[in-house]
Amino acid sequence: MTQRRFYFLLGLVLFLAARPSLAQSASSRQQQLESHARQAEEYLKEHKLDLAASEFRSIVTLAPENVDARANLGVLLYFQGNYAEAVPQFRAALKLQPGLWKIQALLGIAEKRAGDFKAARGDLEKAFPNVENEKIRIETGMELIDLYSKTGDLDKAAATIGVLRKMEPMNPALLYSAYRVYSELTEQSILSLLVVAPKSAYMREVMGLALAKHGHPQEAIESFRASIKADPRRPAPHYELAEMLYDSDATRDGAESEYKKALSLNPYDEASECRLGAIADQKGHLKEAYERYARALQLRPDDSQANLGLAEVLMSMGQMEKAEPLLKRAIQLDPTNAVAYFRLSTLYWRTGQSAEAQREFQQYKKYKAIKAELRNLYRTLRVEPAKEALDGPEKSHS
């Protein structure tokens, strides 16, 4: 057991032991209980967990109604891997005093690891929304995700992932679980759609997305066009078709037309508005680019790309003081946005802030290297990344 893990355990046990719950009885019995409690605390401080557990067993034998002793003994058994023995101690503690959410969570995890999945799910579901300790709550949620995945309750697994990602967005185990669950949800949805509506506009759009993802742009374009033909009123396939044409057409005219169609069908389509801003900027139509990026940002203030795009236009207009906060906001929203670091570095060079410029340029190089590794990974997996996943070339703004 690592020192950090030990002190976490110690803190949990002592938190429980601090509550005054030794039952009043005959003087000699009371003295025995107090002696065992003091000895247990000493053993804990000396990392002698087996001996501490033995002292708590003695307290339970003398006073079966002692909540603290039950809970503490269960905690020690749990962290020693004796899950089957920890379960009855946790259950007894909760029967004596319901609402001990840490103990409820540990009970659920112990039940799961002892093979009682039905009981584990019930106890984990009770504890998860109530336990305040972040470490235990994350562990509780991860165990729930695993149980939901095994029983096919993917919607519940995805909802639990959503809660945990707000707490620890960069947790590797959680990100892996998210990948597995979302992938399975995608496969289930595709199979269900194939059964209920195999020739629908929706199915053709899904086929287009899959083809685009796996690097078949021309086939994807045909699928999106087929989806539009089947139902011209849906904005999504117009946007997806525009995304494909954006890369295949040097003039971007075909993409621009489809983005505009998507926007006409859905005036709140921030993504199309943002892309139209980029096309206008590339054509040198700064007024239109500014208006489109500004509206995209109004529709979705938390879009890193919209913040970046508007900042780029402002830099082209020479309005550095207005561009700077937008670039900082873009980085805040997406700390991996390499182009945003590059633009901010350029802005600082032009305003005579060389130290700041160098700092941002180092960040740019760092994330550009990460993007290169990601590109190689996508190539290995034969998957076509989304445009935002891999930034394009760093164009110059005068």
What are the residue ranges spanned by the domains of the chain?
A: 1-128
Reply yes or no on whether the pLDDT at 67 is more than 80. yes
pLDDT per position as a tens digit, 212-231: 988 899 999 999 999 999 99
Domain 1-128 class in CATH: mainly alpha
- CA 198/CA 203 separation, integer angstroms: 6
Please report the DSSP string for 221-263 in residue order: HHHHHHHHHH-TT-HHHHHHHHHHHHHH-TT-HHHHHHHHHHH
How far are the Cα atoms of 102, 124, 360, 371 from residue 139, in angstroms, in the given order?
A: 11, 10, 36, 31
pLDDT at 27: 75
Residue among 327, 335, 8 nearest 170 (CA): 335
User: Are 240 and 205 contacting, i.e. CB atoms less than 8 angstroms apart?
Assistant: yes
- CA 376/CA 378 separation, integer angstroms: 5
User: Residue 110: which pLDDT band, with cuts at 50, 70 and 90?
Assistant: very high
Range of weakest confidence among 140-149, 208-217, 340-349: 208-217
pLDDT at 24: 45
pLDDT at 21: 45
pLDDT per position as a tens digit, 248-295: 876 788 999 999 999 999 999 999 999 999 999 999 999 999 999 999
pLDDT at 26: 54
- CA 367/CA 339 separation, integer angstroms: 9
- CA 25/CA 31 separation, integer angstroms: 10
Range of weakest confidence among 14-23, 57-66, 259-268, 327-336: 14-23
pLDDT at 391: 54
pLDDT at 241: 96
- CA 314/CA 331 separation, integer angstroms: 17
* Mean pLDDT, residues 88-103 taken together: 96
- 3-state SS assignment for residue 334: coil
- CA 389/CA 39 separation, integer angstroms: 58
pLDDT at 20: 44
pLDDT per position as a tens digit, 121-135: 999 999 999 999 999
Averaged pLDDT score across all residues of the chain: 89
Show the CA angle centred on residue 136, arms to residues 132 and 141, nearest 5°.
Answer: 95
pLDDT at 16: 42
Residues 6 or more apart in contact with residue 139 via CB below 8 angstroms: 105, 109
pLDDT per position as a tens digit, 376-397: 877 776 666 665 555 554 554 4
User: Residue 60: which pLDDT band, with cuts at 50, 70 and 90?
Assistant: very high
Q: Which residue has the tokens 């995700």?
A: 145
Reply yes or no on whether the pLDDT at 7 is more than 80. no
Mark residue 176 as left, alpha or beta (left: phi above 0; alpha: psi -120 to 50; beta: remaining): alpha
